[in-house]
């Protein structure tokens, strides 16, 4: 008889399938109302919860990271949710199929548990599906706020949903609806604006991610429009953008009226649009840690605002209730769950989480009603998402990952997000649009030909990377090369000296400089200067050739001392993977239309300074932005 060989991964899948059959047989005596899609979500939730043990309920409240995770763990512990942290992938440069295979493997484990409750997989997708190689990377929110186009961000949300579904993921930790009040904050680029009105408008991205609630639909409850949509998460509740001195995870000092007026409106809008989850902030409000703030989470968010989805912690947010973190996890977990947190981003020690929470319930420190409320909310989102009917990831969406249509959309977003701050010296007339036909032009700067730098943090890895082959896309230099006339000679030199610039007699120069990638606390910055060698490059070139400075950054930087030598200045923010969008407006294929959604300060001593403040004296005020007309392929 010919021997048969079964590879281990295949064997693992077969074992899990057999276990699912066994679990189905074991569960044949259980009520199956919760499996019946014709019944109301309320009936299904109550039926399922009536059959769950305390441990099964608490396990639904855990979200764990994929590191060292197996399908067997999902089966044996009936874990409610799984996530990929920043940079956590099935393997380096994983394909859509690799992702779907991994997600389905974990899901098979969940479906093999006693009750077969599907898990929900979440990921940070904060400017496109940014963890995934070859995904479309859109401009960060700081740039999108300058477009003033809610319809554009809605389309970006829809594209992001498709790309997330291409990898089998139905839940994204976006949008960030922080109102950044101080650019020293390392997460300021995740904020659309210093103005809550713009942030409110940009919550239309939720309609793109989840789908738009039908006219006769119920407002304020979790909503998902179909298999091509994903569950969204409004974050970080609340006041994360208003911390003292812009220090990440710090204290926000503001009175009740100010909190409601400035930081809360984005949440009102998100709830009306059916956002499924809300993530709590690491920060504090007037000295009270948000992860332990019962008044804001339970009384306001769940009570007054009638939010019906689930509230999730941030990464180890419960651990950080003590300093040092995790010093008294039992007390931290007690405070967080009683405050109203429903799902805890653990993310590793799930047995400790489960054991401690069970102990608190058995000893009456956490009411059973609080656990039931959390689980009811989690199950409501899972039923709404159709996970009980369609738990397995779909391979058919793979075509959407990094599709040309999505890259075209990202390119559109780039050109609409750029803000023209200066255009020509006095008496010289405008420099932009740049002539496409010139004898010789210089392209210089650290950020001209580096995809990692133009994408910024939260790209492939948590902090981002300084490398040009980070993912698929086009650099700004690539875009310039495509935009100019074939007869134009382009000289690229990352950091030329003064003599080189003088000797070559360039028609004009484009200098692309800015910040290194960063995320969260690593990005907190008190001086906000242009890092070297970018500043030296700018000084070496500008003043010795007509120059356009393209500033690639997650926030305004100190520029006033150098403005006199710069002929034209463009705030490009963090444009993402489609650098051609920058060239589109530099050379007049499209006009500049972007308007500042943040105040551009003269010096850091003025900070924080926001529109409407007394003694408001900016270099470029909120709403400023020069405009140019499209000249198409001419010029």
Which member of 163, 204, 520, 567 is catalytic?
Answer: 520
Which pair of tokens denotes residue 221? Answer: 């409850």
Contact (Cβ atoms closer than 8 angstroms) between residue 379 and residue 387: no
Q: What angle do CA 359, 362, 364 make, to 5 degrees?
A: 105
What 3-state class would DSSP assign to 105? helix
* Nearest of 160, 609, 205, 225 to residue 410 by alpha carbon: 160
Is the link from the previous residue into 82 a cis peptide, with omega within 30 of 0? no
Whether the CB-CB separation of 597 and 191 falls below 8 Å is answered with no
As a whole number of angstroms, the distance between CA 333 and CA 253 comes to 25
Q: What are phi and psi for residue 154, nearest 5 degrees? A: -60, -45
The token pair at 582 is: 């920058």
Show Cβ contacts of residue 375 under 8 Å, excluding neighbours closer than 6 positions: 49, 52, 57, 60, 61, 342
Catalytic residue among 190, 314, 524, 584: 314
Cα 253 from Cα 243, distance rounded (Å): 7
Residue among 411, 449, 357, 439 at smallest CA distance from 576: 411
Residue 520 falls in the annotated catalytic set: yes
CA distances from 524 to 247, 250, 280, 316, 570 (A): 6, 11, 20, 20, 23
Tallying the residues shown for the chain, one arrives at: 635
Distance, in Å, from the CA atom of 190 to the CA atom of 180, rounded to the nearest integer, reads 9
Phi, psi of 14 (to 5 degrees): -60, -40
511 DSSP β-pair partners? 444, 549
- HEC profile of 485-553: CCCCEEEEECCCCHHHHHHHCCCEEEEEEECCCCCHHHHCCCCCCCCCCHHHHHHHHECCECEEEEEEC
> Which structure tokens are listed for 257?
């009226």
314 is catalytic: yes
As a whole number of angstroms, the distance between CA 115 and CA 281 comes to 33
Paired strand residues for 329: none
Active-site residues, by number, are 314, 520
């Amino acid at each position: 008889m010919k021997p048969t060989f079964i590879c281990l991964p295949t064997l693992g899948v077969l074992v899990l399938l057999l276990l699912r059959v066994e679990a189905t047989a074991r569960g044949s005596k259980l009520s199956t109302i919760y499996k019946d899609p014709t019944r109301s979500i309320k009936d299904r939730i109550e039926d399922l919860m009536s059959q769950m043990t305390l441990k099964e309920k608490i396990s639904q409240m855990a979200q764990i990271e994929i590191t060292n995770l197996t399908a067997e763990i999902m089966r044996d512990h009936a874990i409610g949710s799984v996530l990929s942290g920043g940079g956590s992938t099935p393997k380096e440069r994983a394909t859509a199929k690799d992702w779907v295979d991994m997600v389905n493997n974990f899901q098979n484990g969940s479906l093999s548990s006693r009750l077969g409750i599907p898990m929900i997989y979440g990921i940070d997708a904060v400017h496109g599906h940014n963890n995934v190689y070859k995904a479309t990377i859109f401009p960060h929110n700081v740039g999108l706020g300058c477009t003033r186009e809610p319809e554009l961000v809605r389309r970006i949300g829809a594209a992001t949903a498709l790309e997330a579904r291409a990898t089998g993921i139905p839940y994204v930790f976006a949008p960030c609806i922080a109102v950044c009040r101080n650019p020293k904050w390392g997460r300021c680029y995740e904020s659309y604006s210093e103005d809550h009105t713009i942030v409110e408008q940009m919550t239309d991205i939720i309609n793109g991610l989840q789908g738009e609630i039908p006219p006769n639909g119920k407002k304020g409850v979790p909503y998902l429009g179909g298999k091509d949509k994903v569950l969204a998460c409004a974050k970080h509740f609340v006041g994360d953008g208003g911390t003292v001195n812009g220090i990440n995870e710090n204290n926000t000092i503001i009175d009740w009226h100010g909190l409601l007026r400035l930081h809360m409106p984005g949440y009102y809008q998100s709830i009306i649009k059916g956002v499924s989850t809300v993530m709590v902030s690491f920060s504090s409000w007037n000295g009270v840690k948000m992860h332990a703030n019962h008044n804001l989470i339970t009384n306001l968010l769940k009570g007054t605002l009638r939010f019906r989805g689930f509230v999730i912690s941030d990464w180890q947010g419960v651990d950080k209730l003590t300093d040092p973190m995790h010093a008294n996890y039992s007390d931290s977990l007690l405070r967080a769950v009683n405050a109203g947190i429903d799902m805890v981003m653990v993310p590793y020690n799930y047995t400790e989480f489960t054991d401690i929470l069970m102990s608190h319930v058995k000893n009456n420190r956490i009411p059973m009603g609080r656990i039931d409320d959390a689980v009811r909310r989690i199950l409501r989102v899972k039923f709404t998402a159709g996970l009980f009917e369609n738990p397995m990831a779909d391979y058919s969406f793979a075509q959407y990952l990094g599709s040309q249509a999505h890259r075209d959309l990202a390119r559109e977003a780039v050109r609409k997000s750029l803000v023209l701050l200066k255009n020509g010296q006095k008496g010289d007339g405008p420099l932009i649009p740049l002539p496409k036909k010139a004898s010789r032009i210089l392209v210089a700067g650290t950020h001209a030909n580096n995809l990692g730098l133009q994408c910024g943090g939260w790209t492939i890895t948590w902090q981002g990377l300084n490398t040009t082959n980070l993912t698929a896309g086009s650099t700004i230099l690539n875009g310039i090369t495509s935009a100019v006339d074939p007869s134009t000679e382009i000289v690229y030199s990352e950091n030329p000296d003064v003599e080189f610039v003088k000797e070559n007699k360039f028609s004009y120069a484009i200098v692309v400089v800015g910040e290194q990638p960063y995320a969260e606390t690593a990005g907190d910055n008190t001086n906000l200067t242009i890092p070297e060698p970018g500043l030296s490059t700018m000084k070496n070139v500008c003043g010795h050739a007509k120059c356009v400075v393209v500033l690639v950054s997650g926030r305004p930087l100190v520029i006033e001392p150098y403005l006199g030598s710069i002929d034209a200045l463009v705030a490009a923010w963090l444009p993402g993977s489609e650098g051609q969008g920058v060239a589109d407006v530099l050379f007049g294929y499209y006009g500049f239309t972007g308007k500042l959604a943040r105040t551009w300060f003269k010096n850091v001593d003025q900070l924080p300074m926001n529109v409407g403040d007394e003694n408001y004296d900016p270099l470029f005020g909120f709403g400023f932005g020069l405009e140019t007309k499209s000249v198409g392929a001419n010029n």
